[in-house]
Amino acid sequence: DAGVTQSPTHLIKTRGQQVTLRCSPKSGHDTVSWYQQALGQGPQFIFQYYEEEERQRGNFPDRFSGHQFPNYSSELNVNALLLGDSALYLCASTFRAGELFFGEGSRLTVL
Amino acid sequence: QKEVEQDPGPLSVPEGAIVSLNCTYSNSAFQYFMWYRQYSRKGPELLMYTYSSGNKEDGRFTAQVDKSSKYISLFIRDSQPSDSATYLCSRGANNLFFGTGTRLTVIP
Instruction: State residue A1's pLDDT score.
Output: 65
Q: Is pLDDT at B93 greater than 70 in this prediction?
A: no
The answer to whether A92 faces chain B, any CB pair under 8 Å, is yes
Instruction: Please give chain A's pLDDT, 111 residues, in tens.
Output: 679 999 999 999 999 999 999 999 999 999 999 999 999 899 999 999 999 999 999 999 999 999 999 999 999 999 999 999 999 999 999 987 678 899 999 999 999
Task: Give chain B positions within 8 Å (CB) of A41.
Answer: 100-101
- C-alpha neighbours within 13 Å on the C-beta side of residue B38: 32
Distance (Å, rounded) from C-alpha A92 to C-alpha B5?
A: 22
- Tell how far CA B45 is from the center of its chain: 12
| Residues 25-54 of chain A whose Cβ lies under 8 A from any Cβ of chain B | 31, 33, 35, 40-45, 48
Asked if the Cβ–Cβ distance from A48 to B42 is below 8 Å, we say no
Among A46, A32, A40, which Cα is nearest to A89's?
A: A46
Asked if the Cβ–Cβ distance from B95 to A45 is below 8 Å, we say yes
Could you please report the per-residue DSSP string of A47-91?
EEEETTEEEEE-S--TTEEEEE-TTS-EEEEE-S--GGG-EEEEE
Distance (Å, rounded) from C-alpha B34 to C-alpha A109?
A: 29
Q: What confidence tier does B94 reach under pLDDT thresholds 50, 70, 90?
A: low
Question: B102-107 and B11-14 as β-strands: parallel, antiparallel, unpaired?
Answer: parallel
Across chain B, what does the average pLDDT equal?
Answer: 90
